[in-house]
Amino acid sequence: MSAPPDLPAVVQRAFDVSRRAGYVSFCRNETGRLLAMLAATRTGTMAEFGTGCGVGTAWLRSGVRDGRARILTAELDPRLAQAAGEIFVDDPLVEVRAADWSTLLDEGPFSLLFLDSGEPGAAGVDAVADLVEPGGLVVLDDVAPCEMWPPITGGRVDTLRERWLTDERFTAVDVMVAGDAGVVIATRR
């Protein structure tokens, strides 16, 4: 696992930390570039639920252009959280917590919330809707591309994605970031 040389320095550090930790489940570069672009439009508090070794957090941080935004991220595995913390040890705009995502509930509302399609994303829109400020964004990562309605994944209706795309509290879109990867981006109405 090697990061391309054209990555932002903070993302390169995150790849290096992930490699040393033996952690290979992280945000793809295509998704990361999208996160950086979206983070560049945000002020206030952004959050990530499920840090891993901090690659997604690093992409978010690479998009922050001034001190008007901060990033909170929670990782349940203390070893991974410690590894991610190494990346941001001297960065006052990023806080890595070795904790369940629910410890961030009182820190919102968030201007951007980055979720994996697993927990808490699997809990669905109801679990996080009130954590996002009006006009705030939710990025649900790791969804399989699908060109039909209702969305089908693995031969079944993808009810998680269907709920995000039809919830009246959000305006949402399914976006392919690569031929084999997609995200759902939702804006809180």
Q: What is the DSSP secondary-structure string of 107-141?
A: G--EEEEEEETTTTGGG-HHHHGGGEEEEEEEEEE
Look at 44 and 102; give whichever has higher pLDDT.
Answer: 44
pTM over the 0.75 mark: yes
pLDDT tens per residue across span 18-36: 998 888 778 899 999 999 9
Ordered by start, the domain boundaries in the chain are: 28-188
Question: By three-state DSSP, how is residue 34 classified?
Answer: helix
- Give DSSP secondary structure letters for 14-33: HHHHHHHHT------HHHHH
pLDDT tens per residue across span 51-83: 999 999 999 999 998 888 999 999 999 999 999
Phi, psi of 133 (to 5 degrees): -70, 155
- CATH superfamily assigned to domain 28-188: Vaccinia Virus protein VP39 (3.40.50.150)
pLDDT tens per residue across span 104-154: 889 999 999 999 766 555 567 888 899 999 999 999 998 888 888 998 888
